[in-house]
Amino acid sequence: MVRARAGRQEPTFEAVGPYARTDGPEIVSTLSAYGFTFDAAQAHQLDLYAARDAAGAPAAMTIGLSVPRQNGKSHAARWYAIWCAAICGMEVVYSAHNGDVVGEFFKLLESVFSNGANYPDFHAMLDGEPYRQPGRQEMRFTSGGRIRFSTRTNSKSRGGTCSVIVIDEAQELTDAQLNALLPTMAASPDGVPQAIYIGTPPDPTCVGTVFRRMHDTAHSDPEPDSWWSEWAVAELPPEDATEDRLVELAYEANPALGSRMRERSVRNEARTMGLDGFARERLGWWKPGGTAQPPLIDPAAWRKCQVAEGGAMRDGTKAFAVKFSPDGKTAALSVALARKGGGAFVELVEVAGTSRGTDGLADWLFARAKETAALAIDGRAGTAPLVKRLIDRGYPKRGLIECRAADAQASVAMLIDEVNAGTVTHIESPALDNSATKSIRRKIGSNGGFGFGDGPDSISCPVESAALALWAARTTRRDPHRKQVVW
């Protein structure tokens, strides 16, 4: 019998301090007897939450957990909260960004503690009727403990103190919300309060700041009282990564893959999602942003290459380049002129969304085909449709370059070298200037090569298209004005 493949159960990265013991195994053993099970990854998470120092206090006051969606990341923390309140008699607060998430956990508690027929031992721990008002639910226990539920606001919704706070959907947590939550722990009845943050890597629309800061600190300068555990890839996969390779990475970043999560679903995500989105949502990838990663191009060197529009170079071998973003939603178009053995010039023509397709772009490029020595196109999300449109219009195939990873690497190296040497010029262009001076290092291919990647407040498409245009103009041997002789 072939054993089904399972996702990685150990974190891919962890910053954890020492501890004397953990109540995790006892919690797992007790709950398993009632049918509440934990996989190895969730049991490990419980070990960290329930870790104690020699005096019996929580070994870490702050614990962060980052796991891709649909991996049961809240399961261990929720049962730890129940254990602390129902068994240990502690004051616990469970907070989430959305009311539906709060309601989901409260329903779990009711299904167990209010169900005397199926769970008489748990029902006996309940002290009175649960308070069910949405957003203010709470449950008291005969141990003296209590769990309070709340969605997050920027002001304290209720008074009181707590010993443990579980913050779900932590990627959405803002500093203002944190400032409202933490004072409730200042006078913890148990002396050493504990905060547990559970979340996923933030998407581009996320306004949360706290979880990002925790992640960056854990990776750069971890603090003894703050622990961090994650399942994630360390960097964005290369654009030419195969579906099989992406699935391999998914097994490393998803402990539930192969059990509660199906490989078939992951393959469908890999085929339909953009690379950035798939890496974030399924591979746990944290897009660089909170750390001070230097730009690939020296901003001062780039500024020295700027010339007035009237002094821009207007002759030489002409090439265009189109660069699609990894998710295919953005395309940048640049032009370059290069003199053999002499200088070069690059200019961003346009950067725009692709929601209306590439038909208009194909028309524009085809209209200039007779004056263009080479057209380079890069980005797996948009290259094939654009190339087909161009060929259907009669664009000369010898003038089309469908870029490989090695071509992209070479173009980046060439642009950086020419900027440093001052052999390439450009006119003022806010979109290209911002992209060129703020784009950071990104892995390309599987041979250690690198290219431009989005910075914290910039996109790399414009400078990538400029680099490809320069590379195409410098390396093409095609002369669009030369008549082809057919023998």
d(CA 351, CA 333): 6
d(CA 235, CA 20): 34
Q: Note the pLDDT of residue 186.
A: 60
Q: Note the pLDDT of residue 134.
A: 77
What's domain 13-230's superfamily in CATH? P-loop containing nucleotide triphosphate hydrolases (3.40.50.300)
pLDDT bucket at 99, cuts 50 / 70 / 90: confident
pLDDT bucket at 297, cuts 50 / 70 / 90: very high
pLDDT of 34 strictly over 90: yes
**Burial class (CB within 10 angstroms; exposed 0-12, middle 13-18, buried 19+) of 249:** buried
pLDDT digits (tens, 9 = 90+) for 342-396: 999 999 999 988 888 899 999 999 999 999 999 999 998 899 999 999 999 999 9
Please check whether residue 344 is in contact with residue 314, taking contact to mean a CB–CB distance below 8 angstroms: no
Strand partners, 452: 441
pLDDT of 209 strictly over 50: yes
pLDDT of 155 strictly over 70: no
**Burial class (CB within 10 angstroms; exposed 0-12, middle 13-18, buried 19+) of 283:** buried
pLDDT bucket at 480, cuts 50 / 70 / 90: confident
pLDDT of 486 strictly over 60: no
- What does the pLDDT average to over 201-230? 88
% of residues, the chain, pLDDT over 70? 92
Q: Note the pLDDT of residue 381.
A: 83
Please check whether residue 92 is in contact with residue 166, taking contact to mean a CB–CB distance below 8 angstroms: yes
Q: Note the pLDDT of residue 485.
A: 40
Other CB atoms within 10 Å distance of the CB of residue 307:
13
* E strand or H helix that includes residue 311: none
d(CA 165, CA 196): 6
Show the tokens assigned to 443.
């892995």
Residue-averaged pLDDT of the chain: 90
Q: Note the pLDDT of residue 182.
A: 74
Q: Note the pLDDT of residue 459.
A: 87
- What does the pLDDT average to over 37-54? 97
Residue 381 DSSP symbol: T
pLDDT of 290 strictly over 50: no
- What does the pLDDT average to over 84-90? 95
Q: Note the pLDDT of residue 384.
A: 93
Q: Note the pLDDT of residue 190.
A: 61
Cα three-residue angle 424-427-431, rounded to 5 degrees: 105
- What does the pLDDT average to over 265-277? 93
Please check whether residue 39 is in contact with residue 79, taking contact to mean a CB–CB distance below 8 angstroms: no
Pairing mode, strands 62-66 and 226-230: parallel
Please check whether residue 419 is in contact with residue 305, taking contact to mean a CB–CB distance below 8 angstroms: yes
Strand partners, 347: 335
pLDDT digits (tens, 9 = 90+) for 416-455: 999 999 999 999 999 999 999 999 888 776 666 888 988 7
CATH architecture assigned to 299-475: 2-Layer Sandwich (3.30)
* DSSP assignments along 8-35, one per residue: --S-SEEE----SEESHHHHHHHHHTTT
Q: Note the pLDDT of residue 360.
A: 93
Q: Give me the helix-helix angle, 75-82 and 40-49, nearest 10°.
A: 40
List Cα–Cα distances, 424 to 221, 270, 318, 419, 471, in angstroms. Answer: 40, 38, 14, 6, 11
pLDDT of 132 strictly over 70: yes
Per-domain boundaries in the chain = 13-230, 299-475
